[in-house]
Amino acid sequence: MRRYIGILFFLLTLQLSAQEMGDSILTYDFSEVAERDTVQPLKKYFWQKGILGGIVNYFDKSDDKKPLEKFDISFIGGPDINSTTGIGLGLCGSGLYHLQPTNPDLQQSSITITARATSKAMFTMLLVNEMFFPDDRYRSTAKLELSTFKNLFWGIGYEQNDVDANESYYTENYIKFNGNFMFRVVPNLYIGPILYYQYYTADKRDALCNDLLDFREHQSQVLSAGFGLSYDTRDCLHDAQRGMYINFQQRVSPAFCNTVGTFSTTEMQLSGYQPVWKGCVLAGELHSMLNVGHDTPWTEYAQVGSSYRMRGYYMGRYRDRNIIEAQLEFRQHLWKRIGMVWWVGAANSFHDTNNWRFSRTLPNYGAGVRWRFKPGVNIRFDYGFTRNGSGFVFCINEAF
């Protein structure tokens, strides 16, 4: 992938005609003459009329519960403002469907679409399909991500990453796929194969970027396979109120499947959810990613910062072979479909255990607004503070 991936925009125009409502009131006087007076039509405000009224009605009905037999999909767009990537637009779509409508206890499967385009020639798109098969005997997840962007780079390892003067540029293009198919072993416990693929190019490097990369490859291709193990007692996939989730993945990329050599990746996520008072849920997550093997390509290194962890950090400002990160979040419902969150987090990226230093732990905190888009699906607007500044996140579904 050398050039821009085609950008798909959507047109969403809904036009609803105003309804006329009328009624009659029967009045009676002492002369026993009946007169009928017609009530004037209900007054409609400007946001209830025309195209704007159609859009308001569209979002008002998006939270209605639909029959399980129906495929329910909705879209929403919002601003994307960042000092580095420029001004842009984010598009989120959420589709819910049920593979066993006769079983209301089975979670709904979902399709999530996230796209982002900015004034500084950045385009990313993420498609996620999460399926719950009848009686919850099998589960499957598939993620496809495409991106092209003039990315910033500060080097590899804390010593280089923490130096502001190391800021350099290269053009990043990649396509990434991650999928699994899990079999239920006992209630709540699943195991199954996983497949991972990424093709990555780092072109048009400036001189400083070339120096920091120290002749590392401009292009990498990785194909790996392995197995996953998960334990899941959450009451809702994307907006859990209680329960826990443990996910372990182990995959290996042999030399003949990539452009460098053999290496392995171990990833683990542990998250829990607990109500603390009325309308408030305390959510916590611990995540780690460890790459083993000197042939691990730099494009597969762990990066601090994303829409889901260490929110507000420029993704890739801090990167190394391994990472350990954690976050704690209070989720408070406020009124109707609106809520707020407050979180704190920390991360430490390191090359190996001998290189790990507690003093290099990066802090993170922030707050955000939640709007319930549809049952179990939230739109989130987060603003995170970091060691190097702050950043805004517009996304669909909770961070974890």
Taking the C-alpha atoms of residue 359 and residue 155, their distance in angstroms, rounded to an integer, is 19
Range from 19-28, 32-41, 216-225, 366-375 carrying the lowest mean pLDDT: 19-28
Position 53 scores a pLDDT of 73
CB 86 within 8 A of CB 118: yes
Helix, strand, coil percentages in the chain from 3-state DSSP, rounded to 5: 10, 55, 35
How far separated are the first and last CA of the chain, in Å rounded? 30
Tokens of 112: 């999530």
Token look-up 């993704």 returns: 315
| pLDDT top residue among 370 and 62 | 370
Residue 136 has pLDDT above 90, yes or no: yes
Range from 42-46, 256-260, 272-276 carrying the lowest mean pLDDT: 42-46
> CB atoms < 10 A from the CB of 83, how many?
10
Position 260 scores a pLDDT of 83
Provide the mean pLDDT of the chain.
Answer: 87
| pLDDT top residue among 85 and 372 | 372
| DSSP class per residue in 187-208 | TTEEEEEEEEEEEEEEES--HH
Residue 6 has pLDDT above 70, yes or no: no
Position 47 scores a pLDDT of 60
Position 95 scores a pLDDT of 94
pLDDT tens column, 109-124: 999 999 989 887 789 9
pTM: 0.84
Give the DSSP H/E element, type plus range, for residue 160: helix 158-161
What is the arithmetic mean of pLDDT over 9-35?
36
Give the DSSP H/E element, type plus range, for residue 294: none
Identify the band that residue 217 occupies on the pLDDT scale cut at 50, 70 and 90.
Answer: confident
Residue 227 has pLDDT above 70, yes or no: yes
Residue 32 has pLDDT above 50, yes or no: no
> CB atoms < 10 A from the CB of 47, how many?
11
| pLDDT top residue among 79 and 341 | 341
Taking the C-alpha atoms of residue 353 and residue 101, their distance in angstroms, rounded to an integer, is 49
Of 64-78, 209-223, 360-374, highest mean pLDDT: 360-374
Contacts by 266-270 with C-beta closer than 8 Å and gap 24+? 266/290, 266/292, 269/245, 269/400, 270/244, 270/245, 270/246
pLDDT tens column, 320-352: 999 999 999 999 999 999 999 999 999 999 999
Residue 386 has pLDDT above 90, yes or no: yes
pLDDT tens column, 283-295: 999 999 999 998 8
Range from 40-44, 179-183, 228-232, 240-244 carrying the lowest mean pLDDT: 40-44
Nearest to 199 by CA among 217, 183, 181: 217
- DSSP annotation of 39 reads P
Work out the percent of the chain whose per-residue pLDDT is above 70: 86
Fold of 62-396: Porin (2.40.160)
Q: Within the chain, which residue ranges are assigned CATH 2.40.160.50?
A: 62-396
Taking the C-alpha atoms of residue 313 and residue 325, their distance in angstroms, rounded to an integer, is 13
Position 301 scores a pLDDT of 96
Position 59 scores a pLDDT of 76
- Identify the bridge partners of residue 366 per DSSP, sorted by sequence position: 343, 384
CB 95 within 8 A of CB 66: no
Position 129 scores a pLDDT of 97
Position 42 scores a pLDDT of 61
Position 208 scores a pLDDT of 96
Residue 14 has pLDDT above 80, yes or no: no
